[in-house]
Amino acid sequence: MVDTRIASTYVQLLFEYLQGQGLDPVQLLGPAPGADEHFVSLPTWQRMLRRVDALEQRPALGLRIAEGVAARHFGVVGYAALACSTLAEALLRLERHHVAVYDVNPATIHEQAGCLVIEWGVERGRPGALVDETAIASLVQLARDMTGRCLPVQAVDFVNPAPADVRPYRDFFGGEVRFDRPTTRVVIAPTYLALPLRKSDPALLALLDQQAEALLARVAALPAAVDHWRRALVPLIREGRMSLAALADSQHMSARSLQRRLAEQGMSFQQLLDRTRQHLAEGHLREPSLDLAEIALLLGYSEQSAFTRAFKAWTGESPAQWRKLRQSEASS
């Protein structure tokens, strides 16, 4: 396969599974990835899964691992998904940012016969049953965790050959499970797409907002009204609702009134948004534990490339260049 990788939080999930089985994951697999290691290579992940599978010699390892999944195992992407109002919105957000978690084969979402279909091809190779089953089962389990409902899927397709016993798969997914298919797919019935999320980690979402507000507190002071609006933008940016109307609604005023009040302070909404994003970006870039893709997501960008273009327009440097220069300055 070409150079592919998965988020190191998947390794954390595997370590937690082993600990739950009374096993020492470090002794079995070696040290966990460091705090600054955002990804592990696909071959590394494959070796880990094969080692555990050979030890346990039980079917459906990926399904058992996935049972412990939560938003934190999807990193910032998982937390951002919790900010969505419905399961459909959360799944769309996960699809847009899947490379920050599972950079193997590209994912697409489309509608078919009224159902939502999430599909992975084999353009970049076939990672194998253990990898595929862990990833798909984790996604389904995350949807259940976010909604608080043990929702069955309409159907699941895998590109890999059928295992000797398919019953554990039917029991886990609750719908039709097929193997030896041309693509890997998860089909979700429309009944479940409008389910509200139970926001199972509100403390984590609040923490993200508090961290963002702390970053803003370090930059130049602004008039009280403008600073208030800037802080109100923080959750809207994270949720991807960056419009004058959304900010005005959060302040219980009309868009026209907010626009007029911003003008009185010598500022447009776009200037406020750009400056807020820039200040947040610079603060996040000083935090080595955040990957550029995660920072782009926290700033409401659907793609890292869009964040890079915007940051270069603000500062004249790419985010990677800006980070490297500041790190050099800090160490000198």
Task: Note the pLDDT tens digit of each residue in 294-304.
Answer: 788 788 887 78
Q: Which residues pair with 134 in a beta bridge?
A: none
Determine the Cα–Cα distance for residues 248 and 232; give it in Å rounded to an integer: 10
Q: Does domain 5-193 have CATH number 3.90.1520?
A: yes
* 55 pLDDT above the threshold of 90: yes
Calculate what percentage of the chain has a pLDDT beyond 70: 89
Contact predicate 184/159, CB 8 Å: yes
pLDDT value, residue 200? 47
The C-alpha R_g of the chain, in whole angstroms, comes to: 22
pLDDT (mean) for 59-85: 84
* 57 pLDDT above the threshold of 80: yes
DSSP assigned state of 152: P
Residue located via tokens 């939080």? 9
* 31 pLDDT above the threshold of 70: yes
Task: Note the pLDDT tens digit of each residue in 181-215.
Answer: 999 999 999 989 889 887 545 555 566 666 666 66
Determine the Cα–Cα distance for residues 46 and 60; give it in Å rounded to an integer: 15
Ranges of CATH 1.10.10.60 domains, the chain: 202-331
Ranges of CATH 3.90.1520 domains, the chain: 5-193
Residue 173, both tokens: 């997914």
Whole-structure pTM value: 0.69
The CATH T-level fold of domain 202-331 is Arc Repressor Mutant, subunit A (1.10.10)
pLDDT (mean) for 238-244: 83
Q: Which residues pair with 117 in a beta bridge?
A: 110, 187
Determine the Cα–Cα distance for residues 130 and 115; give it in Å rounded to an integer: 26
Least confident of 28-42, 164-178, 255-269, 286-300: 286-300
What are the start-end ranges of the H helices in the chain?
8-20, 25-29, 42-56, 61-66, 75-82, 87-96, 129-147, 167-173, 190-193, 202-217, 224-239, 244-250, 255-264, 269-285, 292-298, 304-315, 319-331
Question: How many other C-beta atoms lie within 10 A of the C-beta of residue 123?
Answer: 9
pLDDT (mean) for 17-41: 89
pLDDT value, residue 318? 93
pLDDT (mean) for 50-64: 95
DSSP assigned state of 100: G
Question: How many other C-beta atoms lie within 10 A of the C-beta of residue 221?
Answer: 8
What does pLDDT average to over the chain?
86
Least confident of 17-31, 125-139, 165-179, 316-330: 316-330
* 155 pLDDT above the threshold of 50: yes
Task: Note the pLDDT tens digit of each residue in 96-137.
Answer: 777 777 878 888 888 888 899 999 999 888 999 999 999 999
Determine the Cα–Cα distance for residues 98 and 116; give it in Å rounded to an integer: 17
pLDDT value, residue 35? 67
